[in-house]
């Protein structure tokens, strides 16, 4: 487990939300990184994380779809007051095809669905998972603002978004967090996203900070199971992986 310094409570953004500095992303328990893992093992894992100081749990309705929210909901029974729950809406599948929606009707229906699956009265941090280019961001965030006013959501955020959209959204209702992929091999966000968030007092939540497993120092990325979406990521293609492993070895020397 991480040190106590890493897990100490920190302010996420400037709207009042406090979370452990390190969070637990729950996606891989149910989706995208091979087949779903056994429920009880994952519940035990979540309990272990919370017992050791992690309070921010991250999920989304599309993980599964839906089954990860159900899993997390089961895991936080009896410890709801110890965690800050983050989930997301906006990505879905219909007849095998992916869609992105941010219209008010969908936002509200998605929130109600997440509340039911998680079996909670409110969501601490509710993200728009992706921006629906067919709907002005002001309209999407306007409905999220209503959810806050109704007490169904405490704080709101955006995931994978441009600096311009961050500013437009923040003008409608203050954003607490922006979630982005940020690691040693994903640094484009340093060009304008990070500075925009810092300027506006918006917290930054990095996902895949260990390069989707690459920086863990394990062979997990070399023998990916069937159904693992990382097989489609160029960084993990054999010819690129060999080059990246050379860089990793150099990095390990510096770290040591």
Give the β-pairing of 91-94 and 24-25.
unpaired
Alpha-carbon span 58 to 118, nearest angstrom: 12
For residue 6, what pLDDT band results from cuts at 50, 70 and 90? low
User: Which pair of structure tokens corresponds to residue 42?
Assistant: 């994952």
Is the pLDDT score of 220 beyond 80?
Answer: no
Residue whose structure tokens are 């993980």: 63
- State residue 97's pLDDT score: 95
Is the pLDDT score of 1 beyond 60?
Answer: no
- Residue-wise pLDDT tens digits, 86-145: 999 999 999 989 999 999 999 999 999 999 999 999 999 999 999 999 999 999 999 999
- Residue-wise pLDDT tens digits, 15-43: 999 999 999 999 999 999 989 999 999 99
- State residue 4's pLDDT score: 58
Residue ranges of the domains in the chain? 4-209, 215-256
For 195-224, what is the mean pLDDT? Answer: 88
- State residue 102's pLDDT score: 98
For residue 11, what pLDDT band results from cuts at 50, 70 and 90? very high
Which residue of the set 33, 63, 106, 127 is catalytic? 63
Is the pLDDT score of 65 beyond 90?
Answer: yes
For 41-66, what is the mean pLDDT? Answer: 97
Alpha-carbon span 49 to 42, nearest angstrom: 10
For 137-163, what is the mean pLDDT? Answer: 98
- State residue 202's pLDDT score: 98
Note if 93 is an active site residue.
Answer: no
- State residue 5's pLDDT score: 61
User: Which pair of structure tokens corresponds to residue 78?
Assistant: 């009896």
- State residue 195's pLDDT score: 98
CA dihedral sign of residues 175, 180, 184, 189: negative
Alpha-carbon span 133 to 177, nearest angstrom: 20
Closest to 68 measured CA to CA, from 50, 51, 45, 52: 45
Identify the CATH homologous superfamily for domain 4-209.
NADP-dependent oxidoreductase domain (3.20.20.100)
For residue 227, what pLDDT band results from cuts at 50, 70 and 90? confident
For 133-162, what is the mean pLDDT? Answer: 98
Alpha-carbon span 187 to 194, nearest angstrom: 10
- State residue 216's pLDDT score: 83
């Amino acid at each position: 487990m991480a040190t106590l310094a890493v897990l100490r409570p920190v302010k996420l953004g400037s709207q009042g939300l406090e979370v452990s500095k390190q969070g637990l992303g729950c996606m891989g328990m149910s989706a995208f990184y091979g087949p779903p893992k056994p429920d009880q093992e994952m519940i035990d894992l979540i309990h272990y994380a919370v017992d050791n100081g992690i309070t921010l749990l991250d999920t989304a309705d599309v993980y599964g779809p839906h089954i990860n929210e159900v899993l997390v909901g089961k895991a936080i029974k009896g410890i709801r007051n110890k965690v800050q729950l983050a989930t997301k809406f906006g990505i879905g599948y219909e007849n095998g095809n992916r869609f992105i929606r941010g219209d008010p009707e969908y936002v509200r229906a998605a929130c109600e669905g997440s509340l039911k699956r998680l079996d909670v009265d409110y969501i601490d941090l509710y993200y728009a998972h992706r921006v629906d280019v067919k709907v002005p961001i002001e309209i999407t965030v306007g409905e999220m603002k209503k959810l806050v006013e109704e007490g169904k959501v405490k704080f709101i955020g955006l995931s994978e978004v441009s600096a311009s959209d961050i500013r437009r959204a923040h003008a409608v209702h203050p954003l607490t967090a922006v979630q982005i992929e940020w690691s040693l091999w994903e640094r484009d966000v340093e060009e304008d996203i990070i500075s925009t968030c810092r300027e506006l007092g918006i917290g930054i939540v990095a996902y895949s900070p260990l390069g989707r497993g690459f920086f863990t120092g394990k062979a997990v990325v070399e023998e990916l199971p069937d159904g693992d979406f990382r097989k489609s990521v160029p960084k993990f293609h054999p010819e690129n992986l060999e080059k990246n492993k050379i860089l990793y070895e150099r990095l390990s020397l510096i770290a040591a």
